[in-house]
Structure 1
């Protein structure tokens, strides 16, 4: 059993328009997940520096960043980053290049926590429905091309408002969605833009939206979380 979380941290800029990475880290500590997918983890322009510095992460958290950065001062790929427990083993990781008009990408890592190995995909999809579907197909094709298929979790800001159409329908053919609830806008959440999806080897035991006082200020998205476990095999 492991706890997962996904958070569009908005580059550490809260609804009060202040950039406060320590506050973002406080929200993550409140959730206390084993694996975290972050979106907008790096600044957008210039050197695209990480918002939560390596020192802050090392000294004030129980996580380490999966080494996905393509730039020296970044944490992730196009703002997508993965954090795992310091005790976790990172078996492998990489970037998934997505078709897009604006910079978009997804990241993937195989992580062993205790005896369990899970493949984790973090993503931040396009605002355009047409490009979201192309990006969903690229992610699924990447998973299909892998020589092995461990239990898989996909998480991120999908930017899709309707559960019955678009990329959600594409993902839903093969993955089950955690029913976490609306996470956007943080002050008055009505949109289920952030999603956690699991392959059929896994079962969602519990899930929700983290709506603490700090989370309502730290970003325009609320973080979502899910507790997952291996699904029991059918009895003989």
Structure 2
């Protein structure tokens, strides 16, 4: 004997089909509202010119700067104007001391010999570095040499380049040449598999030729916002930035200037970033 199969009436079939279509639309709409998948890693990036530890009150106080960093709770910090064992700052390895005070890993990159020690930039990170490199940028012998320093770091199941730089402050032409060198380097190493974040004191306002050149290849965090970072006491311009490349590998979640006018002559810039699948 053949089993009896209940026949679903045509009007009930149509109703069920409409319900399934509606459910699919709602699911897609919800996903669109939520943005990236929850599994997409997010990171907090801070760029901070620490003025060799000296605040606007002319006091040398790394503990005060470390407190600013800890409160921001970044995954990566790009530091500019960092001393290492110089006479002017008490022969202290400032990178090591800030790493200790913030419970992060610290990596110093030398620009020049200075006052019995060294002067340059540094990276603080929660993750340990996998690879490091540095490149001197175009300049002139009579001026301070400028540096682009980078590290390769793990972030979840992916890796990325995180870099710090400090571009020339007094000569537009030199600064524009430095931007070209930066772009040429990352054109070869920044890929969807190894995306890049560069943070630092660019010494350029948003409408400058240098920043227009950067905007051709990079996403500038907060490019549509007024983010005043310098001078710290009463800031009237932005010269500190966080930029990312390739542009479709990152989504900027939030960006803010930290309200501190004492610890350094720059205000730190904090950016929260999602790495897209």
TM-score (norm 1): 0.84
The answer on 1:224 being equivalent to 2:263 is: no
| Segment drifting more, 219-228 vs 37-46 | 37-46
**Cα distance in 2, alignment partners of residues 224 and 139 from structure 1:** 20
1:73-108 Cα offsets, whole Å, 9 max, x none, are 9xxx852211101xx131211111101122211101
Per-residue deviation, 1:114: 2.7
Change in CA separation of 1:89 and 1:184 when aligned onto 2, cut-off 3 Å: same
- Matching residue of 1:90: 129
Aligned residue for 1:229, secondary structure, equals strand
| Segment drifting more, 194-203 vs 61-70 | 61-70
Tell me if the contact between 1:3 and 1:226 (Cα under 8 Å) persists in the aligned partners: yes
| Segment drifting more, 105-114 vs 147-156 | 147-156
**Cα distance in 1, alignment partners of residues 50 and 139 from structure 2:** 21
- Matching residue of 2:161: 119
Matching of residues 18-97 of structure 1 within 5 Å: 18-42=59-83, 52=94, 54-55=96-97, 57-58=99-100, 60-66=101-107, 68-69=109-110, 78-85=119-126, 88-97=127-136
Per-residue deviation, 1:182: 0.6
Tell me if the contact between 1:106 and 1:123 (Cα under 8 Å) persists in the aligned partners: yes
Greater Cα radius of gyration, structure 1 or 2: 2
TM-score (norm 2): 0.73
**Cα distance in 2, alignment partners of residues 217 and 51 from structure 1:** 22
Tell me if the contact between 2:105 and 2:124 (Cα under 8 Å) persists in the aligned partners: yes
**Cα distance in 1, alignment partners of residues 74 and 146 from structure 2:** 25
Tell me if the contact between 2:258 and 2:267 (Cα under 8 Å) persists in the aligned partners: yes
Change in CA separation of 1:230 and 1:100 when aligned onto 2, cut-off 3 Å: same
Q: Which portions of structure 1, spanning 4 or more consecutive aligned residues, are displaced by more than 3 angstroms?
A: 43-51, 67-73, 145-149
- Matching residue of 2:16: none
Segments of structure 1 that go 5 or more residues without pairing to the other structure are none
- Matching residue of 1:15: 56
Matching of residues 208-223 of structure 1 within 5 Å: 208-211=256-259, 215-223=260-268
Per-residue deviation, 1:54: 2.2
One of 195, 211, 214 as aligned partner of 1:168: 211
One of 144, 153, 158 as aligned partner of 2:202: 158
Superposition CA RMSD, Å: 2.6
Matching of residues 127-142 of structure 1 within 5 Å: 127=169, 128-142=171-185
User: Which structure is higher in helix share?
Assistant: 2
Aligned residue for 2:175, secondary structure, equals helix
Aligned residue for 2:186, secondary structure, equals helix
